[in-house]
Structure 1
Amino acid sequence: MYQLALLYLACVLAGFGLANLPSSAIVTAEIANIFDLVGGIAIIVFGVAILYLGFKSLFNKR
């Protein structure tokens, strides 16, 4: 379960990397905007998944 949480954390960090990608000669402004959107969605989705794992672990009745 900890490996899954670390994988989700890595995905959140990758989302931050995509969201902060600067535009350059290779990456145009339009593509950078798409990366911003994809990065934001990844941050939200995997952040919620980490919260779910945390609440599931917190309320586990073992």
Structure 2
Amino acid sequence: MNYSIFLFLAAILSGFALIQVPIAGTFLASLAPFTTVVGLLTVLIFSLVIIYKGFRHLFNK
């Protein structure tokens, strides 16, 4: 079993958590745009990696 796929899924979930984290009203409020951008990039990059691995697996058999 390919456990890296589960690692990529965990990274996608972490990206969604960074997007949705409520940091308004805390001392980290100034980092809100940064966490949103990092979360979006994480979700996008690891989703594309999973799609690429799926296509590669599909066409190699």
- Which TM-score bucket, shorter chain as reference? 0.7 to 0.9
Q: What's the CA shift for 1:2?
A: 1.8
Q: Which has the higher helix share?
A: 2
For the aligned residue pairs, the C-alpha RMSD in angstroms reads 1.3
- Cα separation, 2, equivalents of 1:59 and 1:19: 34
Structure 1 runs of 4+ aligned residues shifted over 6 Å read none
Could you say which residue in structure 1 is the equivalent of 2:22?
22
Number of residue pairs matched by the alignment = 60
- Point out where structure 1 has 5 or more consecutive residues left out of the alignment: none
Deviation digits for residues 15-45 of structure 1 (CA, Å, limit 9, x no counterpart):
00001111242321x2011100000000000
User: Normalising by the residue count of structure 2, what TM-score does the alignment of the two structures yield?
Assistant: 0.87
User: Normalising by the residue count of structure 1, what TM-score does the alignment of the two structures yield?
Assistant: 0.86
Alignment identity in percent? 35
